[in-house]
Structure 1
Amino acid sequence: MGIEADDIAPERFLEDVEMRVGEVVDVADFPEARKDVYKLEVDFGDETRQSAAGLTDNYDREDLLGSQVVAVVNLGTVSIAGFESQCLVTGVDDADGDVVHLRPEREVPNGTRVY
């Protein structure tokens, strides 16, 4: 696996993409979705947003509740089976192809911007 994307100016990335740390305050099953995902409510300090997140393979609902996540908050809203996903919780695939969510190594205030 090589990194194939073209370089971009660092200031351009920070201008275009806004990522913030938030705390998962509610986790619900989402049987209406085509993929196996959870409905999440994420507290970013000044506001709470909802997200459809494919974290069901590696996480029980109780594992996610109260955990901090890194999310992209300026992608607009996407409708998934009638559910309005307002942010994208970030993650990576593990060796088995299951999603591992990205989070800070220690607790930070909700709403902290990633840079």
Structure 2
Amino acid sequence: MSQEIKPVVSKEEVFDKLEIRVGRVIDVEREPSAPKPSYKMLIDFGKFGRRVSVGRFTQHPIEEVKGRLVLGVLNFEPRPIGNVTSEVLVLGVQFPKAESGEATFVSPLANAKVGSKLF
């Protein structure tokens, strides 16, 4: 089995340009206009403001998502998903045994400060 990876890139030219910050989900609801089951989340990034994100985290119950610390990319171009503009990409990985695209969160284990930078 092939283990192809993408080409090597410079940390300074790629990773350091990303604005990845810790945020806290302060509101979450199902987003019926999204093409696949998704949540619309309002996330507080502290001094970086509140941003909306639409993501496929629906394997988690809403009450488990609200209040959760998440990592989000703040400087990607906003993207329309259904009738909503997703302003931040919340980082996730494939939810075990779920259909392709269903995600679980990449989150800090400790209660990190909202707005903290990923490095």
Q: Same fold (TM over 0.5)?
A: yes
Query: Which residue of the partner structure matches residue 58 of structure 2?
Result: 56
Q: Please show how residues 55-74 of structure 1 align to structure 2 within 5 Å.
A: 55-57=57-59, 59-74=60-75
Instruction: Kindly state the Cα deviation for residue 56 of structure 1 after the two structures are TM-superposed.
Output: 0.3
Instruction: Kindly state the Cα deviation for residue 16 of structure 1 after the two structures are TM-superposed.
Output: 2.2
What is the DSSP-based 3-state SS (H/G/I as helix, E as strand, rest coil) of the residue aligned with 2:14?
helix
Kindly provide the CA deviation profile for residues 12-60 of structure 1, in whole angstroms up to 9, marking residues without a partner as x: 2233211111000000111111110000000000210000010002x01
Distance in 2 of aligned mates of 1:23 and 1:68: 5
Distance in 1 of aligned mates of 2:13 and 2:52: 27
Query: Which residue of the partner structure matches residue 32 of structure 1?
Result: 33
Distance in 2 of aligned mates of 1:99 and 1:12: 28
- Work out the percentage of aligned pairs sharing the same amino acid: 28
> Within the alignment, does 1:22 sit opposite 2:26 as a pair?
no
TM-score normalized with structure 2 length: 0.89
Distance in 2 of aligned mates of 1:109 and 1:56: 25
5+ unaligned residues in a row in structure 1: which ranges?
Answer: none
TM-score normalized with structure 1 length: 0.92
5+ unaligned residues in a row in structure 2: which ranges?
Answer: none
Moved >6 Å (runs of 4+): none
* Number of equivalent positions: 114
Query: Which residue of the partner structure matches residue 91 of structure 2?
Result: 90
Query: Which residue of the partner structure matches residue 81 of structure 2?
Result: 80
Query: Which residue of the partner structure matches residue 109 of structure 2?
Result: 105
Distance in 1 of aligned mates of 2:7 and 2:110: 32
Kindly provide the CA deviation profile for residues 62-95 of structure 1, in whole angstroms up to 9, marking residues without a partner as x: 0000010011110021111220100000101143
